[in-house]
Amino acid sequence: MWFNFMYSTLLPIGAIVTIVGLSCYYWVDKYNLLRRSTVSRHVSGRLIMRSLNLLDFTLFLKPMGSMIFDSYLKGQFVPSSLVMLILGVVYVIIPKNYILKRIDN
């Protein structure tokens, strides 16, 4: 999925293929979880938080891919891609968990 967001500027249909693939993956996993599997151990909260943090990386992979392919194909950068790249990096860097804990208290 991350590479698809990076290459989506070059191959826009890849985003549609990813949506179809993720929806099929969702339904297969849902069937397996509800009908065929048993949980013998608990899933750690650290694993969930790590997965959510990795998902945030798509916010700067898409503009980074746009910048890379625009520089190779057009020979120039689009300013909006640079702005989105900076916003994505800032979003990943800010300590969201710390801010949420401070708000709850």
Question: Rounded mean pLDDT of the chain?
Answer: 80
In the chain, where are the structural domains located? 2-104
- Judge contact between 60 and 88, C-beta under 8 A: yes
The number of beta carbons lying within 10 Å of the beta carbon of residue 6 is: 20
Q: What angle do CA 50, 13, 59 make, to 5 degrees?
A: 30
pLDDT digits over 15-66, tens only? 788 888 889 989 998 888 888 776 677 777 888 788 877 888 888 888 888 8
**pLDDT confidence of residue 105:** 67
Helices (H), the chain: 2-7, 13-31, 45-55, 58-73, 79-93, 96-104
Q: What are phi and psi of 74, to 5 degrees?
A: -105, -15
CA distances, 70 to each of 60, 61, 87 (Å): 15, 14, 19
Q: Which pLDDT score, from 0 to 100, does residue 6 have? A: 66
- Residue 1's pLDDT is 60
- Global pTM? 0.52
